[in-house]
Amino acid sequence: MHADDADALLVLASTFLEQDEELHDARREVYRALVEEAWKIAMRSRHYQTTQCLDTPSDSAWMMVYKYGSDVNFLNTTSLTRSAFNQLLQRFSRFYYIPRHTTRGRPTKLNHHHQVLGLVLCFYVGSMEQSSLCMLFGAPPSTLSRTLARAEGALAQALSGYAPARIS
């Protein structure tokens, strides 16, 4: 082997090692960028309860309290006695519209005024997380938020000018 051949092999080996090191660094940088992007996506994605993990609203915990709960259970849940709740429910039902199910579109989850009023009162009385309210009423978070927003407005209208609701 000639000296020129040996020098050429050394230069070639050195270049190969430099290229291998640069390739390793580039792969490490790509991996870091992919992990960072996956982390950002994971933080942006919503983690919430779906209808598959919830009871149907007709079998929910609220329905059991409403149908079979004692007056003490009802008072602890809504901060109203059953008779006061029913009195407010009569007034509230005039201001909150629940559309009837037609063949078009998805049916509403909360089909009764007492479910909607109970939702608002449980939201105000208990310091519950939204996930707890979802499990209590059997409605997914999006439905719960939309219903709460509409029901709060209806309750404000129902209480406006309502003598039993005034503070004396």
pLDDT digit string, tens, across residues 102-159: 667 777 788 899 999 999 999 988 777 888 888 888 888 888 899 999 999 999 999 8
pLDDT for 45: 61
Counting every residue, how long is the chain?
Answer: 168
pLDDT digit string, tens, across residues 37-61: 888 777 666 666 677 777 788 888 8
Give the predicted TM-score (pTM) of the model: 0.68
Residue spans of the domains in the chain: they are 1-45, 51-162
Query: Which ranges of 45-112 does DSSP label H, i.e. alpha helix?
Result: 61-68, 71-78, 82-92
User: Which residue, 109, 118, 113, is CA-closest to 64?
Assistant: 118
